[in-house]
Amino acid sequence: MAAGVAAWLPFARAAAIGWMPVANLPMPVAPTDKNKRQDELIILNVSGRRFQTWRNTLDRYPDTLLGSSEKEFFYNEETKEYFFDRDPDVFRSVLNFYRTGKLHYPRYECISSYDEELAFFGIVPEIIGDCCYEEYKDRKRENAERLMDDQEDNKDAKLPNMTFRETMWRAFENPHTSTMALVFYYVTGFFIAVSVITNVVETVPCGSAPNQKEVPCGERYTVAFFCMDTACVMIFTVEYLMRLFAAPSRYRFMRSVMSIIDVVAILPYYIGLVMTDNEDVSGAFVTLRVFRVFRIFKFSRHSQGLRILGYTLKSCASELGFLLFSLTMAIIIFATVMFYAEKGSSSSKFTSIPASFWYTIVTMTTLGYGDMVPKTIAGKIFGSICSLSGVLVIALPVPVIVSNFSRIYHQNQRADKRRAQKVQKARLARIRISKTGSSNAFLHSKRNGLFNEALELTQLPYKMNLSDQSSTEEEQRLSKSTSLLESQHHHLLHCLEKTTNHEFVDEQYYQQSYLEAGLQNYPSRSPSLSSQDGVTGTCCTRRSKKHHTPLPNASAPAHMQPLTHTHTHTHQQGLQELSTIHIQPLSTSRSSLNMRIDEPAPLNCQSSQITTAIISIPTPPVTTPEGDAHLPAGPTHQNVVKVSAL
Amino acid sequence: MEAIQGMEVFAIGVVIILFMAVLKQFGILEPMSSFEDSSDSDLELSTVRHQPEGLDQLQAQTKFTRKELQSLYRGFKNECPSGLVDEETFKTIYSQFFPQGDATTYAHFLFNAFDIDRNGSIRFEDFVIGLSVLLRGSVTEKLNWAFNLYDINKDGYITKEEMLAIMKSIYDMMGRYTYPCVRDDAPSEHVDKFFQKMDKNRDGVVTIEEFIETCQKDENIMNSMQLFENVI
């Protein structure tokens, strides 16, 4: 609930009088404000700068340092103010958060100092407002990358207990690690260069006998070139096999681009070996030699810049695609126009539209070979328009590609897209969660708050250890965890429930009960627990999503609280305490429910909501100790289980 | 020759069009249509500001103390800096208390109940006078206020349609995820029960006298009226 509307809570509660004449049930008791005092100004002295605010303003967020009694530790008796030895500039943002309900991140602030201040004052950075959240996340990411880069520099120390295979792989990937690796690196580089030069020189015409026509060197010194080629291919094959052996995941290695290049580079030689005698296919064999030029791509292992260029082109695929598309469009348009413009003139080279394509391409890329020129006036006009537009069309996407390259080169953000997607998902989840957060708080406190209403409820016996008499202690313990504001809000929602004689439940429970309309046993549940929105699947960990057989304690993950759970056929009453922030998009839970509709008792075992730090923390649950022994006892025993989130 | 002539004319035509486009870009040649959509219409956001009456007058009109009025005004002004609450803002604020359901319809009825002079916005005076009745008024005054809320057209009678609308809006606030599920006829059932209880002479409408009389006899209702005494 935003802080701003906290001031309107009294109004909302007063307006609830509108429901009273309509309701048929008695209303719950309102929470009382035991120590109600007049609102007063408090002084916060932060490193000498004094801030003043109303006490109520700070009380809006009881989970933070300033909103709870933790600030009493900083109270200075002599000066009657709260003294904090922290940065006053950042404190300004912190205090504004209390005032307006929105946390802003100032751009000039260093990200780590801001994070520290937030951590000190107990504010979760996730509640930074949308206006500043992007900036905050960007800075945070840059900082994390910087830290990672620093760490990587220290990572080259050799780890003990590496197998021979792992050492080899590390040697291949980082040549700086050992001398052998460096030697290997240079040797392969040398041979790649030699191989490429050989291929090139092969075709140069060497001197020839005077009566014969010039032959290329390759045909003159066949044996020498063949030996050279063989040697290079040997080295490349050995290198490839060694890499294949050392790779941690051979399948993945074989699918990687570099290994494909390796294979393509050496394959023509072997194919040539096999096929030399066959005259028909030798033509094709000659074509295959073209692929030997792929050896030059092997240099990309040796050059970081080449790799980044390759990655840039891949990541700019959309810009390149746009460039290609617009060029094609323009080529077709201009070729058509030129063809028709030049149709009349005699001896025109523009014999057909495809023939005009060549002219258009040459003109648009400002090459201008001059083998085809328009002769008519119209042709010349359109030709000039063509060349002007060519400059524009080609010049437009190029800066984007260039900036991409430089960005990647400098920051090496290979995982940028992946991380950006996660952030986006997380943001959407955040927004949704803040909406469900307050309703969850109500549902949580309903379970806990029943102790406070033990006075008026129910005639059916319920198996709770606590009775009215002992409830005061519990009450105090419990009321500590929910602020007055929250309890008032929950009282309001409770009144609405009573007015309409229906109860709020959370979505999971609703989905379940909707799906299994016939399978549930309502009467056996004790009303106090039955009024819960039993969030189910507490016993099912993520691992055992699909099974709904009773799971013994041992199979639960180690951090599950050591309480038992009954697992009836239909569904489970459970208390799900979410102590970690775990984000699960709502759509998946729904779709997974749909998927499991054919199972007899689908269980939604996914934790679906989160509570942020603002929400009150649920207190220890009600447990019935006899639940252990009555595991198969069926629906009459309903145990409340506390499971910490996975 | 004809074809060439045609193409030449076409070419020259294209050149002229491009020339005009360039001129337009430089703002030298202004076509007629660019004046209509100027951004003056963005200023329709009114800069109306409303100052409330003085503290003394409000103290006289309501049963709040000075400090309470101050605290109320601070909260009010925080959320509505212009001093006026329009219906949209009101709905937004009220909806925040009921995240699971749709509180806009009920907020609409509430808005009409608070906006005494029916001018489409609630001033601080209206707000505080309404609150004074609800929190510090006598039971009869509260019941009057509730009757006024239910009587949508303010004609002095609550008809079944009016009550049905109110009931539906209350059930809307519960949202979808309730236990047991809200059936479609739940509001009308509830309305029938209400009319059975309230409509003594079975004439299909509830008058203010019937309403107050029935409520005063009902234990639950009388207790619940006292529920929010200590809200401020």
Is B74 an 8 Å CB contact of chain A? Answer: yes
How many Å apart are CA A64 and CA A55, to the nearest integer?
A: 14
Contact B131/A10, CB-based, under 8 Å?
yes
Three-state secondary-structure class, residue A250? helix
**Binning pLDDT at 50, 70 and 90, where does residue A566 land?**
very low
Does the N-terminal peptide bond of residue B180 adopt cis geometry, omega within 30 degrees of 0? yes
How many Å apart are CA A468 and CA A454, to the nearest integer?
A: 6
Comparing B228 with A474, the larger pLDDT belongs to: B228
Question: Which candidate in A487, A490, A493, A500 is best for mutational testing of the B interface (most B CBs within 10 A)?
Answer: A500
Q: How far is A218 from chain B (nearest CA, A)?
A: 55
Q: From the list B8, B176, B193, which residue is nearest A378 (CB)?
A: B8
Placement of tokens 């870009």 in the chain: B25
With contact defined as beta carbons under 8 Å apart, do A576 and A535 qualify?
Answer: yes
**Binning pLDDT at 50, 70 and 90, where does residue A114 land?**
very high
Q: Which chain B residues are closer than 8 Å to A497 by Cβ? A: 174
Tens-digit pLDDT profile for residues A439-466:
676 676 666 655 445 444 444 344 343 3
Q: What is residue A370's predicted lDDT score, i.e. its pLDDT?
A: 92
Contacts of B164 (CB under 8 A, 6+ apart): B187, B188, B191
Q: From the list A15, A344, A438, which residue is nearest B99 (CB)?
A: A438
What is the crossing angle of helices A377-395 and A353-364, to 10°? Answer: 50
DSSP 8-state code for residue B30: -
Q: Which chain B residues are closer than 8 Å to A96 by Cβ? A: none
**Binning pLDDT at 50, 70 and 90, where does residue A277 land?**
low
Contacts of A506 (CB under 8 A, 6+ apart): A436, A439, A440, A443, A533, A535, A609, B177
Q: What is residue A285's predicted lDDT score, i.e. its pLDDT?
A: 67
Q: What is residue A336's predicted lDDT score, i.e. its pLDDT?
A: 93
Which segments of chain B have a pLDDT < 50?
A: 33, 36, 39
Question: Which candidate in B7, B62, B170, B171 is best for mutational testing of the A interface (most A CBs within 10 A)?
Answer: B7
Q: What is residue A567's predicted lDDT score, i.e. its pLDDT?
A: 39
Instruction: Annotate A208-241 with b (16+ C-beta within 10 A) or e (fewer).
Output: eeeeeeeeebbebbeeebeebbeebbebbeebbe
**pLDDT greater than 70 at residue A93:** yes
Comparing A343 with A630, the larger pLDDT belongs to: A343
Q: Report the range of poorest mean pLDDT among A11-20, A601-610, B66-75.
A: A601-610
Nearest partner of A385 among A341, A351, A350, A353, judged by Cα = A341
How many Å apart are CA A247 and CA A241, to the nearest integer?
A: 10
**pLDDT greater than 50 at residue A612:** no
Closest chain B residue by Cα to residue A493: B98
Closest chain B residue by Cα to residue A382: B11
- Candidates 2.40.50.140, 3.40.50.970, 1.20.120.350, 1.10.287.3510; CATH matching A164-302: 1.20.120.350
Contacts of A248 (CB under 8 A, 6+ apart): A165, A166, A169
Q: From the list A2, A20, A341, which residue is nearest B224 (CB)?
A: A20
**Binning pLDDT at 50, 70 and 90, where does residue A49 land?**
very high
Tens-digit pLDDT profile for residues A278-287:
666 666 666 7
**pLDDT greater than 50 at residue A609:** no
Q: How far is A21 from chain B (nearest CA, A)?
A: 6
Closest chain A residue by Cα to residue B143: A21
DSSP string, A340-381: HHHSSSTT-S--SHHHHHHHHHHHHTT---SSS---SHHHHH
Domains of chain B and any CATH numbers: 9-24+54-227 (1.10.238.10)
Q: Hey, where are the domains in chain A?
A: 41-157, 164-302, 310-431
Q: Which chain B residues are closer than 8 Å to A17 by Cβ? A: 134, 142, 145-146, 225, 227-228
Give the pLDDT mean for A519-541: 40
At position B83, the amino acid (one-letter code) is G
Nearest partner of A262 among A315, A183, A195, judged by Cα = A195
Per-residue CA distances from A82 to A36, A62, A96, A313 (Å): 21, 17, 17, 58
**Dihedral of the alpha carbons of A456, A457, A460, A465, in degrees to the nearest 10:** -90
Give the pLDDT mean for A30-38: 66
| Residue A431 zone, left/alpha/beta (φ > 0; ψ -120 to 50; rest) | alpha
**pLDDT greater than 90 at residue A266:** no
Nearest partner of B114 among B135, B128, B97, judged by Cα = B128
Contact B78/A385, CB-based, under 8 Å?
no
| Residue B136 zone, left/alpha/beta (φ > 0; ψ -120 to 50; rest) | alpha
DSSP 8-state code for residue A627: G
Q: Report the range of poorest mean pLDDT among A161-170, A381-390, A415-424.
A: A415-424
Sequence-ordered strand ranges (E) for A70-134: 75-76, 81-84
Placement of tokens 């929190």 in the chain: B135
Contact A10/B220, CB-based, under 8 Å?
no
Comparing A424 with B170, the larger pLDDT belongs to: B170
How many Å apart are CA A409 and CA B200, to the nearest integer?
A: 84
With contact defined as beta carbons under 8 Å apart, do A603 and A540 qualify?
Answer: yes
Give start and end residues of each alpha helix (H) in chain B.
2-25, 55-61, 66-79, 87-95, 104-114, 124-136, 139-150, 160-174, 186-198, 208-217, 219-225
Placement of tokens 């429970």 in the chain: A509
Tens-digit pLDDT profile for residues A336-353:
999 998 888 888 888 999
Q: What is residue A544's predicted lDDT score, i.e. its pLDDT?
A: 39
Give the pLDDT mean for A351-356: 91
Contact A20/B14, CB-based, under 8 Å?
no
pTM, 2 dp: 0.48
**Binning pLDDT at 50, 70 and 90, where does residue A209 land?**
low
Contact A10/B232, CB-based, under 8 Å?
yes
Segment of A49-58, A210-219, A308-317, A456-465 carrying the highest mean pLDDT: A49-58
With contact defined as beta carbons under 8 Å apart, do A209 and A219 qualify?
Answer: no
What is the maximal distance between C-alpha atoms in chain B? Answer: 106
DSSP 8-state code for residue A159: P
CATH number of A41-157: 3.30.710.10
CATH number of A310-431: 1.10.287.70
Nearest partner of A610 among A440, A426, A422, judged by Cα = A440
With contact defined as beta carbons under 8 Å apart, do A23 and B224 qualify?
Answer: yes
**Binning pLDDT at 50, 70 and 90, where does residue A629 land?**
very low
Comparing A386 with B77, the larger pLDDT belongs to: A386
Q: From the list A26, A500, A509, which residue is nearest B170 (CB)?
A: A500
Segment of A35-39, A58-62, B2-6 carrying the highest mean pLDDT: A58-62
Chain centroid, CA B229 distance in Å: 25
Segment of A17-21, A126-130, A610-614, B40-44 carrying the highest mean pLDDT: A126-130
Contact B178/A505, CB-based, under 8 Å?
yes
**pLDDT greater than 90 at residue A273:** no
What is the crossing angle of helices B124-136 and B139-150, to 10°? Answer: 130
**pLDDT greater than 60 at residue A62:** yes
Q: How far is A155 from chain B (nearest CA, A)?
A: 50
Cβ pairs A/B, distance under 8 A: 180
Contact B146/A531, CB-based, under 8 Å?
no
| Tokens standing for residue A541 | 């960990």
Phi, psi torsion values for A146, nearest 5 degrees: -60, -45
**pLDDT greater than 50 at residue A600:** no
With contact defined as beta carbons under 8 Å apart, do B111 and B60 qualify?
Answer: no
Percent of chain A with pLDDT over 90: 13
| Tokens standing for residue A276 | 């030399």
Q: Which chain A residues are closer than 8 Å to B134 by Cβ? A: 14-15, 17
Give the pLDDT mean for A628-641: 38
Q: What's the full length of chain B, in residues?
A: 232
Placement of tokens 């998927």 in the chain: A595
Q: What is residue A522's predicted lDDT score, i.e. its pLDDT?
A: 44
Q: What is residue A635's predicted lDDT score, i.e. its pLDDT?
A: 39
Q: How far is B8 from chain A (nearest CA, A)?
A: 5
Residues 20-39 of B with CB under 8 A from A: none
Placement of tokens 């013994």 in the chain: A552
Closest chain A residue by Cα to residue B178: A504
Contact B177/A507, CB-based, under 8 Å?
yes
Give the pLDDT mean for A556-577: 38
How many Å apart are CA A169 and CA A71, to the nearest integer?
A: 55
On average, the pLDDT of chain A sits at 71
Q: What is residue A371's predicted lDDT score, i.e. its pLDDT?
A: 92
Three-state secondary-structure class, residue A273? helix
Give the pLDDT mean for A584-613: 39
Per-residue CA distances from B65 to A37, A494, B145 (Å): 14, 29, 21
**Binning pLDDT at 50, 70 and 90, where does residue A288 land?**
confident
CA-based torsion, A336, A338, A340, A345: positive or negative? negative
Q: What is residue A471's predicted lDDT score, i.e. its pLDDT?
A: 43
Segment of A103-107, A396-400, A491-495 carrying the highest mean pLDDT: A103-107
How many Å apart are CA B116 and CA A301, to the nearest integer?
A: 79
